[in-house]
Amino acid sequence: MGNVVDDFITRVYDVVRSNRDGGVADYIPELAAVTPDGFGIAVATGDGHVYEVGDTSVPFTIQSISKPFTYALALTDRGVDGVAEKVDVEPSGEPFNEISLDPDTERPRNPMINAGAITAASLVAGAGPAEQFERIRDLYSRCAGRPLVLDDAVYDSEARTGHRNRAIGYMLRSFGVITDDPDDVVDVYFRQCSIEVTCRDLALMAATLANNGVNPLTRDRVLNPALVERVLSVMTTCGMYDAAGEWVTEVGMPAKSGVGGGVLAVLPGQLGIAVYSPRLDRHGNSVRGVQACRELSRDLELHFLHVTRAARSSIRARYSVAEAPSRTRRTEAEQQSLEAFGNRGRVYELHGDLLFTGAETAVREIDAERADLEVVVVDVRRVDDVSGVARRMIELLRADLAANGCRTALVDPDGLFGHASSSLSPDDPHGRVFADPDSATRWCEDVLLSRHCGAGRQPDSIELEQHPLLADLTTVQFSRLTDDLEYRTFARGETIVRRGDREPGIFLILSGRVSTSVTTKTGTVQRISTLSAGMSFGEMATLLGTKILNDVRADTAVTVAVLTPERLARLTTEAPEIRSALIERLAAVAYGQVEMLLRTIEGRGRL
């Protein structure tokens, strides 16, 4: 099953495949015999993942898409200056097979037209034509990540009919641009154009250029980064022949087309695209290939002038709620359930400028783990900017996960995704939007606990006699203590205890939920823990006669039973055994809290 990126590419495929404009190349007889409506799209990412739809495994000949790669090999063998003495890098404004040289320099205008490409082939090092061709084929194979072979039928067809290219070869020889036998040089060129590739091969070759010369699958360093930069520059201005200006404006990626029906496009530092469709326009470019690249560029916002400020993974950290639980105090049964099932809830922290490739990385990783997930939190607090396509991709992922029973939440305090923190109902199947990660993690845990913890859950409310702090008291002691307790209620958002209050009392929570927190000098509220029915606060400051170190606020309507400092003092005098029992119980509870805190710190320390 594909993810949302597959859906984007499939949509483009469906839109474009009805276009039957143009016709196949007929000046090479073997190319005229191909099925005209074959169509495939492949997109290879910087880590070698390939999205593909349609006829991506159908073999066809590389033709002029070979030109930037042979040019790169010539640069490797002869150096930039050595190649520049023979081939310029200026757009020609002429058809790719024009028999002409620049009138001022008497050199081919660029290596993307036939005259420049034949010259580049002559500059490849080798003892003779056979060795030159093998070095060319080896380079293409390393870029594709598999051995590529010659299509003998296409080569024979080109060799029989390639008189115009031979005329270009003799012109180059007459001007001293090439010094070898022009028939041998042109024959090497015919052979390089007749190498058989698939759309998937071309996508990986494009991704190799996008990766500064490193094949994303094999990790083979194929080309020098400085030379790749020069190749991509020439592809940008000259790769689409006399349609190059329109291409750069509308699509915005270095590219190269071939009369075999292929189009290769490169988004530097991010991905490679390949399209196969044999019908050509008047410029010799694949009609569907150009349209598909235009659609992909627009939909996925791939124009190379719209780039992230840093090419890095969008996923800053990933962890399960078992590894990094919330600060909510849990019952023993709940802790055991979260230890057993916490890996089914995961938090993904994103960062940087989130454009298509960053969102693709996140979507692919989360989607790959969907079989093991029941709830997901996507934390975008550290995302600086988010593009429209990235926003749609994340939202589509959330909807897709929800449709398959996986709840999701966003941590989005700045509203980058257009949701207010209260915009979704607590029961919305798509999930929630939170302003802080701890609240989102607590929600994530609650979803898992509702599914996997049938007994021993923390209740919404309890009677006083059920409070764990009083569990060790005898019936007589409990009766004595209740005479000293006061019952109080607080509304949601109300501050119950303020930092700095001295001896606030011992508060036993009977219903509702409270948060302990501190406020920094900058005004940021940092949550310490969340407490619910059956828990307590204010104990240490009251027992030690000191100031409380944090605020306590009501997250919901709250009911508490309070043992005030005055009542505790009287209890100490009149019933010291009750005070001792309370202290022992508090010590046991505190030890359990420390154990949970250490587990949280250890989990976050692995992030």
Residues belonging to the active site:
64, 67, 189, 241, 259
Nearest to 603 by CA among 419, 358, 335: 335
Helices (H), 20-162: 29-32, 67-84, 114-122, 129-144, 152-161
According to DSSP, the residues that pair with 514 across neighbouring strands are: 531, 554
Inter-axis angle of helices 388-403 and 356-368, to 10 degrees?
Answer: 10
Instruction: Tell the burial category of 305 from Cβ atoms under 10 Å away from its Cβ (0-12, 13-18, 19+).
Output: exposed
CA-CA-CA-CA dihedral for 28, 34, 38, 42, to nearest 10: -50
Q: Report the candidate in 513, 467, 508 with the shortest Cα–Cα distance to residue 493.
A: 513
Give residue for tokens 């298509």: 356
> Which of these, 535, 478, 528, 493, lies nearest to 511 by C-alpha position?
535
Hey, is 443 helix, strand or coil? helix
Coil, helix or strand for 411?
strand
Cα dihedral 164, 166, 172, 178 in deg (nearest 10): 150
In the block, residue with structure tokens 């119950």: 496
Burial of 139 (0-12, 13-18, 19+ CB in 10 A): buried
Q: Name residue 213's amino acid.
A: G
State the Cα–Cα distance between residues 244 and 570, nearest whole angstrom.
90
Amino acid letter at 601?
A: I
Burial 27-57 (b: 16+ CB within 10 A, else e): ebebbeebebebbbbbbbbbebbbbbbbbbe
Q: Give the other-Cβ count within 10 Å of 291's Cβ.
A: 20
Measuring CA to CA, which residue among 270, 332, 327, 277 is closest to residue 303? 270
CB atoms within 10 A of CB 574: 11
Calculate the CA 522 to chain-centre distance: 33
